[in-house]
Amino acid sequence: MSPHVAIVTDSTAYLPPPAVEHHGIVTVPLTVVLGDQALEEGTEISARSLAAALQKRRPVTTSRPNPEVFAETYRTCAAAGATGIVSLHLSAELSGTYDAAVLAAKNAPVPVRVVDTGMVAMALGFCALAAAETAESGGTLDEAVAAAEKRAAGTAAYFYVDTLDFLRRGGRIGAAQALLGSALAVKPLLQLDGGRIEMLEKVRTASKAIARLEELAVECAGAGSVDIAVHHLAAPERAATLAERLRERVPGLAELHVSEVGAVIGAHTGPGLLGAVVSPH
């Protein structure tokens, strides 16, 4: 953690643990409600347990952190020497996490800038890393925020899911779109657009959809310097294959992260998720 500007994010950033430790980024967990159990993402429920529950069609919902959790986090950062805090969170279109952070920031002992990145997963994670690197180089609170917002503006996230049913159940995509996909037996490609999950293309087979996902990532990356994250849920072989293809095809690849998403995002996408996040420098 910078002695001047602390960086806070939430558990849906799915940052690699070594990066969190190296940069001192503080992560506030969201909650997964499995049956009658409320479990913290990342510590009390794993992606594997979540995928198993979904496959058994057990009821799963998610909830934002309590504002008091953010308030305590901000107090802890201030006690550790932070004179300002940048609090970066997943899209407010997808969760009430940003609103909870805003409430807590009002009474924080140091200035807190809460940012709705409009992102999720490593699209959010790359924003947190940009803010942390700026803070570590002596950047001000405003400069750290600007670095995160610049990274968010240039980052694209594409997702393949086996079915739209989980997104429909969680209210993250319209019922009409979900029903259309099911009726036509198409495989959906989705993107983050304006902080929302939107249908990008409909492809006839899973193999064609995954090939198209690769093409989208390559096209988005271009020839400049980019970081890429490949995400999956219960689909490690798919993720490994896509990552290897992107290593071969993206000339300006700087860092490539491959990881399984956590329980919160997994609850809304279902097993079989494959995602590509492309973030230019």
- Tell me the domain boundaries of the chain: 5-30+65-153, 156-280
* CA–CA separation, 89 and 10 (whole Å): 6
Mean pLDDT, rounded, for 233-254: 96
Model confidence band, residue 46 (pLDDT cutoffs 50, 70, 90):
confident
| pLDDT beyond 80 at 198 | yes
Task: Find the radius of gyration of the CA atoms of the chain.
Answer: 18
| Contact (Cβ atoms closer than 8 angstroms) between residue 196 and residue 93 | yes
Model confidence band, residue 40 (pLDDT cutoffs 50, 70, 90):
confident
Q: In this predicted model, which residue has the larger pLDDT, 76 or 2?
A: 76
| pLDDT beyond 80 at 280 | yes
| pLDDT beyond 60 at 170 | no
| pLDDT beyond 50 at 143 | yes
The percent of the chain in helix, strand and coil, each rounded to the nearest 5, is 45, 25, 30
Give the E-state strand segments of the chain in sequence order: 5-10, 26-28, 31-34, 37-40, 60-63, 84-89, 112-116, 156-160, 187-193, 196-203, 226-232, 253-260, 274-280
Tell the residue number behind the tokens 């973030």, with chain if given.
279
| pLDDT beyond 50 at 225 | yes
* Lowest mean pLDDT segment, chosen from 103-117, 170-184, 230-244, 246-260: 170-184
* Lowest mean pLDDT segment, chosen from 66-70, 102-106, 195-199: 195-199
| pLDDT beyond 50 at 100 | yes
Model confidence band, residue 24 (pLDDT cutoffs 50, 70, 90):
very high
Q: What is the pLDDT of residue 265?
A: 85
* Lowest mean pLDDT segment, chosen from 57-61, 96-100, 101-105, 146-150: 57-61
* CA–CA separation, 163 and 170 (whole Å): 13
Q: Encode 144-160: b = buried (16+ Cβ within 10 Å), e = exposed.
A: bbebbbebbeebbbbbb
Q: What is the pLDDT of residue 174?
A: 54
Q: What is the pLDDT of residue 2?
A: 43
The CATH number given to 5-30+65-153 is 3.40.50.10170
Q: What is the pLDDT of residue 177?
A: 53
Mean pLDDT, rounded, for 129-151: 97
Q: What is the pLDDT of residue 223?
A: 93
> 60: which strand partners?
34
| pLDDT beyond 50 at 276 | yes
* Lowest mean pLDDT segment, chosen from 53-62, 67-76, 260-269: 53-62
Domains 5-30+65-153 and 156-280 share a fold: no
Domain formed by 156-280, architecture: 2-Layer Sandwich (3.30)
